[in-house]
Amino acid sequence: MAGPHHELVFAPLGGAGEIGMNLSLYGLGSEPTRSWIAIDLGVSFAGEELPGIDLIMPDIRFLVEQRRNLAGIVLTHAHEDHFGALIDLWSRLKVPLYATPFTAALLEAKRLSEPGAPEIAVNIVPLGGRIALGPFDIEFVSVAHSIPESNALIIRTPLGAVLHTGDWKLDPTPILGPPTDEQKLRRLGEEGCLALVGDSTNAVRDGRSPSERDVAKTLADLVANAPGRVAVTTFASNVARIRAVADAARAAGREVVVVGRAMDRIAQVARETGYLDDVQDFRSVETYGYLPPDKVVALCTGSQGEARAALARIAQDQHPEVTLARGDRVIFSSRTIPGNEKAVGRVINGLVTQGIEVVTDRTHLVHVSGHPRRAEMADLYGWVKPKIAIPVHGEPLHLAEHAALARAAGVPEVVVCRNGDVVRLKAGTAGIVDELPAGRLYKDGNLLVEADARTVADRRRLGFVGVVSVAVALDDRGGVIADPELELIGIPERNAAGALLAEIASDAVVRTVEQMPRARRRDPDAVKEAVTRAVRSALAENWGKKPLCRVHVLTV
């Protein structure tokens, strides 16, 4: 079985060198009939640098090509960076899909909320379950994280066992679900682990992350001693946090009102899957106005400052049902994801301006990360003792810190790779051996476009410099028939001396055409090129910036 071409490889198509868009492949056998499995299929969220783009997802052209050799997709958990691309990309793959019950239920709820989403058949794996997928034997290992049912995967093959950690932390008191299954991980160490492919998110942070239980205590205090209304915002998928808020409310004799669709959806899925079994019923948003201020806790979406989410609308006093007033308290039980600072700041300032007290994780333990800090990572390496370590789920700095930590923990070989690299998992000769086509897709409206398509670059330039569109009509001898038609969009009206830029551009068009030899004027492309150049430089002289320019030549 172990010929020279018979290899076990790891190949990330997303999530290596970035936080987001996770897609990991494992391949066994020799090319071109190597068997593959994919772990996770997630998205990243686009920032202002990609105007008009909502989501970024991995380019899966390699998987589409290899569809017949792809035994299936396994989801570790239901965070968007791990399963958010499934609905959009599913119809290109349609291979067996595996997930635990909560992840499957959340995927279904999300699918139902998106018109036109394809039906997706999910094979449900019980917690701690084990499946055979092609030549791979995959065992689920429950781990603590910030959403129910996060799983590490032990991927066993004839060439060795790999621990794919997924997103995890060590939390002895996670509030919801089992703590990280230390026994199973220790047993893997005894059995022998070839490689560990692991979460690097918090590899720059020393020590251990606090427990969800500690956060729950802080929340209980903050709700109990609040003088007026309390609103708590958190990541909707953090069901343990929802539960902590519900417990805090109950202890203080308050009702919980859920505000925001994402929160509603998760709360419902959590009820269906038993994760809120002993938690009181939540009240609908319509009841909010009837509850006395000291009898209500509003659980809101919008912890990242999202403009359309509940909290931003409340901060602007534009929410139809939910209002807050001077003396009320808003708790951000969340972390601001890098890039969202301004949006979150706007919401906080809106609230503070209204005299509302805002509590964040800067002053209170109202949030903990779902990812392991360095001492937790060192524990894992001590239990599993892999021969090879591959840091993933991190930006380059996180990967480098994780790599150094793994070396310090005694791992003989550490491979830092990037999306598209193929890493050979063989003790003694581990390393990058090949490359796969990798890239990004953008979700633009309801289309998926390749990241290198011109659209977004054009859009960004338009945002900086505007556009001039010019129509020139020429007769068959190349004479200008009428004044050119110009439209300037996103360009100042007048120059510093008060002259109209539209007229300056128009004059440049006429002058340029008239200066061209008649023979040249019969070539529309030559006219287009000359006019474009003239308009852009005339505007650059008067404005200091060169706009985009589109010229239409009509010959009559």
Instruction: For the CB of residue 293, give the shortest distance to Zn ion in the complex, in Å.
Output: 35
Q: Figure out which of the listed residues 9, 21, 79, 106 binds Zn ion, where binding follows CB under 5 A.
A: 79
Tell me the three-class secondary structure of 298-362, residue by residue. Answer: EEECCCCCCCCCHHHHHHCCCCCCCCCCCCCEEEECCCCCCCCHHHHHHHHHHHHHCCCEEECCC
CB of 167 to Zn ion, least distance (A): 3
Nearer to Zn ion, 80 or 255 (CB): 80
How far apart CA 434 and CA 419 sit, in angstroms, is 12
Q: Which residues contact 97 (CB under 8 A, 6 or more apart)?
A: 72, 73, 74, 75, 86, 120, 121, 122, 123
Among the residue ranges 77-85, 217-225, 486-494, 501-509, the one whose residues contact Zn ion (CB under 5 A): 77-85
Select the residue interacting with Zn ion from 59, 81, 171, 413 (CB under 5 A).
81
What are the Cα distances from residue 395, in Å, to 33, 72, 206, 400? 32, 27, 17, 9
Residue number, 40 or 88, with CB nearest to Zn ion: 40
Residue 150 CB, nearest approach to Zn ion (Å)? 6
Q: Which is nearer to Zn ion, 106 or 527 (CB)?
A: 106
Q: In the set 88, 139, 167, 212, which binds Zn ion (CB under 5 A)?
A: 167
Site size toward Zn ion, by CB under 5 A: 3
Cβ within 8 Å of residue 474, ≥6 positions away: 480, 481, 513, 521, 527, 553, 554, 555, 556
CB of 365 to Zn ion, least distance (A): 20
Residue 147: CB minimum distance to Zn ion, A? 6
Residue 448 and residue 43 in contact, taking contact as beta carbons nearer than 8 Å = no
Q: How far is the CB of 287 from Zn ion (least distance, A)?
A: 33
CB 370, min distance to Zn ion, A: 6
Residue list 445-504, contact with Zn ion (CB under 5 A): none
Q: What whole-number distance in Å separates Cα of residue 478 and Cα of residue 526?
A: 12
The stretch near Zn ion (CB under 5 A) out of 164-172, 284-292, 305-313, 452-460 is 164-172
Q: Which is nearer to Zn ion, 79 or 374 (CB)?
A: 79
**In degrees to the nearest 10, what's the CA dihedral of 311, 316, 322, 325?**
110
Which residue number, 81 or 181, has a Cβ lying nearer to Zn ion?
Answer: 81
User: Which contiguous run of DSSP H or E holds residue 122?
Assistant: strand 122-124
Which residue is associated with the tokens 């609230």? 351
**149 binding Zn ion? (CB under 5 A):** no
Residues that bind Zn ion (CB under 5 A): 79, 81, 167
